[in-house]
Amino acid sequence: MAEVVIGHSIIGHSTIESSSDIRSSDIRQSLDDDWVVLRHEIDFGKPSSKGPAACPAPRPQEELAPRRQPQRLLDTSSDRRETFPLRIRPKGNIPAEDVPPPHLRLQPRQPFVRPASDLDYDNLGAIAEAQQDSYADIADGAPVKGWIIIGRGLRHMHGVELIEGRAKEDVRWDTLQNETTLLDSAAFWLVMAVVNILLAAGLTAVAGLALNAASSVEHYLPFFRPLSDHGNLVSGLATSLAPAIGVALFTVIALGIIKRAAGWSGVVSVSGVRMLAVKLVFYTITVVVAAFTITAGALLFALEAFSHGVDIAKTVATGCVYMSAFAFVLIINVAVLFPGRRHPRQRFRAVYPTTYDASYTASACILSMVFASAFSLIFPLIGPAIVILLFLALVAHRYLIGYVYARTLSETWGLLQIWLLKRLGTLLALQPLLLGLILLSRRLWIEGGILVGIALVVAVIVEVYTMHKTRLASLQALPESTQESLRLFRRALESDNRTDTDDENRSMITARGNRTRGSMASVLEMMSLTLAVMPSASNHRCPLPLRTETLDDLIATERAARTHPDAPPHLPPLSFGDHAEEMSGIMYPPQLLAPPPIIWLPNDTAGVAKMEAIDLWKYHDIHVTLDVHARDVILPKRSTSTRTHA
């Protein structure tokens, strides 16, 4: 929400200062405590700086104070209390007018709806026209690209993509409308490959810097020799702290690009995009950041062995052990930097609530678990550092989900946690595998073979057990009648794809005759938007779509206005029919469920706002509400809608 939310019952941070007489200040004090100040540096009591021609000179304060005292004292109810001090003062030949405050003038109309920020009036008019055309198409069943089906066992249907969140907020309507092509998928995976290649190149350079203290690396990489010649604090920081910070910086940049590129994958649900992002983060950290960095460091450590061709395997294994010290420094840096990051506080959550993204916290946990599984026996000193990192990550995670982020998306029933648990179980095989390879490089064939076999057994047991626990019923487990219905449905889809080549001419045809089947939900929706009929008192609600803690100001505009921290006091009650509750069970895009938009404009003496309101109503069919913006704007009759001007 911006500082001035158009159409909401919110006027942002601003103040009005008024000069009053000392004798009337005590009387107003009790009432001013409940007023909401709205505009800074506007004083309705002081004379205008434009001279006598701007407006008539105000009467002395001694004459006005006795007239305002009875009016203030006689009517102090909450519904009649003023928002603007000194707003009803008569001026010249213009009589005093009891104008309601702005939030009371806006509420009798339908709530303002603005689908997105930075939209001009032409776009809003185009949205209103698109709404009307879409409702007509839905009622006729004309251009249908697909269906959103709610029920059990839908995964058995042909061509179905599951929406993991099972809520309206979880549907990516733009992805459903603009179908992802093969070129989009190829571009997405190309971006993933390029990011990982660049990350691997950067981590290779960092690994070479971390191995500067090794004599073999210094001989074959002479540009690192100045750092090792001094042996002071600066060279120590350059060979230990700088590589760890470099790895953290490169990894954060790569993970940010991966997280943003996950939205291009064509997944139809927001929860699916988040799960894909976490999976990509897991494989990037495990394969590139951990495995590739350790392997690259071990190979750089064995440059001399490769040059002479002697004890290559043994030297590479020694390089892996040498890189465990670098992993220790990296874990310490992540434990210090990651949980100490600044986060928004409660006010940001109240105004701009967002959903907690588990990919960042999961990245720290994945990194710690990878190094713990690989080096806890080879380099035991890394254990306490990993415990500290996991504890601080847990504290940061608990704080973020409790005090910073809100649940604006639906739950995924632990699918992401189950997948992470499965993959972390597979990582347990890293410790015996790495230790077994080290022993094999020392020609300890029996011990090394046993450890490598244990690693393979652990990986197989984890995969088999998790597949057994998470398996779902197959298609053959369904009744024969259900299987036959699914086969008929698949054949109907295939025949429809062969005969209908134009999406604009595709329509839903019933079995009887050739009549188009209209959508009953759309008819009822249009009736509820146009007819002022009291809805029936029914608390029945379907189990799907699931409820979330989100508040979409595109649909629930009035309710969203009342949740803003700067909303004026004493707002009128909501209407009998809450628009968001009426639309809760209809799986349409929010742009189709939104009421017609209303624009709030500040009035001015030049009449620019009035003419703009007339043009908006005439050419774009958009309602406009005018309001007083400056002290010299006083009209004898102020309209709250452009219907009186049209």
Give the pLDDT mean for 93-121. Answer: 47
Q: How far apart are alpha carbons 286 and 369 in whole angstroms? A: 9
Q: How far apart are alpha carbons 267 and 278 in whole angstroms? A: 14
Query: Which DSSP category does 38 fall into?
Result: B
Residue scoring higher pLDDT (38 or 457): 457
- The two structure tokens encoding residue 3: 């500082």
Residue 304 has a pLDDT of 80
6 pLDDT band, cuts 50/70/90, is very low
Residue 46 has a pLDDT of 43
Query: Cα–chain-centroid distance for residue 118?
Result: 18
Give the pLDDT mean for 226-253. Answer: 77
- 388 contacts 438 by C-beta, under 8 angstroms: no
Residue 526 has a pLDDT of 54
Q: Which amino acid is at 537?
A: A
Q: How far apart are alpha carbons 338 and 364 in whole angstroms? A: 8
- Top mean pLDDT of 240-254, 475-489, 594-608, 610-624 is at 240-254
End-to-end CA distance of the chain: 31
Q: Which residues contact 359 (CB under 8 A, 6 or more apart)?
A: 255, 259, 274, 277, 278, 281
- State the number of CA atoms in the 13 A half-sphere of 637 facing the CB: 4
Of 414, 271, 264, which Cα lies nearest the Cα of 356? 271
111 pLDDT band, cuts 50/70/90, is very low
Q: Facing residues of 623 across strands?
A: 598
- 278 contacts 359 by C-beta, under 8 angstroms: yes
* Cβ neighbours, 10 Å, residue 398: 10
Please state the domain extents for the chain: 170-427
- Top mean pLDDT of 44-48, 247-251, 633-637 is at 247-251
Q: How far apart are alpha carbons 45 and 58 in whole angstroms? A: 8
Residue 30 has a pLDDT of 41
3-state secondary structure of 623: strand
- 87 contacts 42 by C-beta, under 8 angstroms: no
Q: How far apart are alpha carbons 613 and 592 in whole angstroms? A: 24
- 328 contacts 381 by C-beta, under 8 angstroms: yes
616 pLDDT band, cuts 50/70/90, is confident
Q: What pTM did the predictor assign?
A: 0.64
Query: Which DSSP category does 60 fall into?
Result: P
Tens of pLDDT, residue by residue over 188-229, are 999 999 999 999 999 998 888 887 766 666 666 666 666 666
- 268 contacts 172 by C-beta, under 8 angstroms: yes
DSSP, residue by residue, 272-287: HHHHHHHHHHHHIIII
Q: Facing residues of 391 across strands?
A: none
